[in-house]
A = this chain, B = another copy of it.
Amino acid sequence: MTYKFSKRVPQSDTDAVGDILKVAGDPKVMSFAGGLPAPELFPVEQVKKAADKVLDEKGQSALQYGSSQGVPELRDVILKRLKVEGIDTDTDHVMVATGSQQSIDLTGKMFIDEGSTVIVEDPTYLTAIDVFRSYGARFVGVDMDEDGMRMDSLEEALKANPDTRLIYTVPTFQNPTGRTMTLARRKKLVELAEKYDVMILEDNPYGAIRWEGENLPALKSLDKSNHVIYMGTMSKIFAPGLRLGWVVADPKLIKKYTMMKQSADLHTDSFAQYVAAEYFAENDINEHIAAITALYHKREQIMVNAVDKYFPEGVTHSNPEGGMFLWVMVPGVEDSQKLFDAALKRNVAIVPGDPFFGNQTIPGTFRMNYSNTPEDKIEDGVKRLAEAIEEVMADGEK
C-alpha cells in the first residue's frame, strides 16, 4: 500500500525532536532537553481526594459525554486565574481545550490557509511551528532581544506582509529563550495588531512562575478591540498529564472555536475537568505555585551559576525571571546539532536551536531546561556540557 497523504503530512519519517527526547529519556543521560515540570511537586494526594469526591458526588457526569465548551465549574476556576493576569471576563469568553497544544492546533486550523503568513518570535515554541506549517503557514520570524520581540522589526514585518493572519507570541518566560516582553513592548504590540488589523495568539503557559521582577499584564488585558486570543494551561501550575488548557476570546470567536473543537475531539475529558475544578476549590493554588516557583528558582540559580563558572568565554545566555528555560548562544558554531552530539557523548542532553526557528536559524544556540533536574545533579551536567562546548568551539577554530 502506497499511502496518498495530504499536503499536511510531513514527508520525512524522522521526527528530530522526538528522537532527541527519546535519547534524553535514557536513564544514563542527564537531560536538560525536555520541558517537564518537577513531578515531585505534583499534588498527588490532593488529586486523589478530589477524584474521590468527584466520583462520589457526580460520578455519572464525570464519566459521561460533556459540553464541547467545557465543564462550567472549571470555567469558573479559569476566570479566577485570568483575573490574576489582569483579564476580567466571563464564562462566555472561555473554552476549555485539551491542553494548550489543542488551542494552538485549533487556531492554526481556523486562521491559516495554504500560504498564509504567520509572524513568530525568532526563536519560538517548536511544536507551534509544526502545527502552523501543517496548515500551510509561511513563517516570518521577528528578532528578539532580552526585552522580547523587537517592535521595530515587527512593524517592518507587518508592512512587508499585509496578508499576515496571526502573530504568535509567548510574552512571558518565552520558550525557548526564557525572555520576557517589557510592558512598553506589550502596549506597542497590541497597538500594532490593531493598526494592521492582525490577530495575536498569546500563549502564556509559564507566566505564573515568577521569582524576580514585577508581574506584567497579559496582552489580552491591554486589548480593547478583540485582536488578542489568549491561551492558558494547567500544565505548569498543576498537572500536564491531565491535558487541560483554555482559550479566551470574544464570544463570537469562542463559538467558532467550540464548533471546531467538537470536530477535533468532541470535548475535553470530563473527569479531568471536574477533578481540576475540585482541586482548585479545595486547595490554595497560589501556595502551590509559590512552592513550584521556589524550587525552579533554586534550580535556575544553580544552573546559571554553573554556566557562568564552567562555560567557555564568549558563550552568552538569557536571564529568566521565571519559567523553565535558559537559552544559550555559542559564538563561532555553525551547526547546533554538533553541540547536541558532543553533549550526548558525555551523557548530557540539550535541544539544539534549529527546530525553534520558522526559517532562518541562529546557529550555535541551544535550550536548557532546569525545572526537571534535581539540584544536586545540575552542576555536574553543566560541567560536562561545558566540555562539549569547548570541544565544538575548538573544532570551529580549526
* Chain A interface (Cβ < 8 Å from any Cβ of B): 1-10, 13, 15, 18, 34, 36-37, 39-40, 42, 44-45, 47-48, 51-52, 55-56, 59-66, 68, 98-99, 101-102, 105, 109-113, 116, 127, 130-131, 134-135, 165, 197, 199, 225-227, 235, 239-243, 250, 252-253, 255-256, 259-260, 262-272, 275
Q: Are A60's CB and B48's CB within 8 A? A: no
Contact sample, A vs B, 26 pairs, CB 8 Å cutoff: A1-B199, A1-B226, A3-B111, A3-B252, A6-B135, A8-B260, A9-B110, A13-B256, A34-B65, A42-B59, A42-B60, A44-B60, A47-B59, A48-B55, A52-B52, A63-B239, A64-B241, A65-B241, A98-B269, A99-B266, A101-B265, A102-B265, A127-B262, A131-B263, A239-B271, A272-B272
In the complex, the answer to whether A263 meets B65 with C-beta atoms within 8 Å is no
Contact of A105 among B2, B7, B226, B265 (CB under 8 A): B265
When A127-B262, A267-B243 are in contact, do A63 and B48 touch as well, CB less than 8 Å? no
Residue of B nearest to A259 (CB): B15
Q: Which residues of B contact A1 (CB under 8 A)?
A: 197, 199, 225-227, 250
Q: How far is the CA of A59 from the CA of B8 in the complex (A)?
A: 36
Whole-angstrom distance between the Cβ of A387 and the nearest chain B Cβ: 30
Do A52 and B48 form a contact, CB below 8 Å, given A39-B64, A127-B263, A259-B10?
yes
Query: In the complex where A110-B5, A110-B9 touch, is A241 in contact with B270 (Cβ < 8 A)?
Result: yes
In the docked arrangement, what's the CA distance between A197 and B253, Å? 40
In the bound complex, what is the Cα–Cα distance between A147 and B111 (angstroms)? Answer: 42
Cα-based distance from A169 to B4 in the complex (angstroms): 19
Taken together as a complex, chains A and B put the C-alpha atoms of A165 and B3 apart, in Å, by: 9
Q: Is the CB of A62 within 8 A of B101?
A: no
Q: How far is the CA of A271 from the CA of B255 in the complex (A)?
A: 29
Q: Cβ of B44 and Cβ of A63 under 8 Å apart?
A: yes
Residues from chain B with a CB closer than 8 A to the CB of A10 are 259
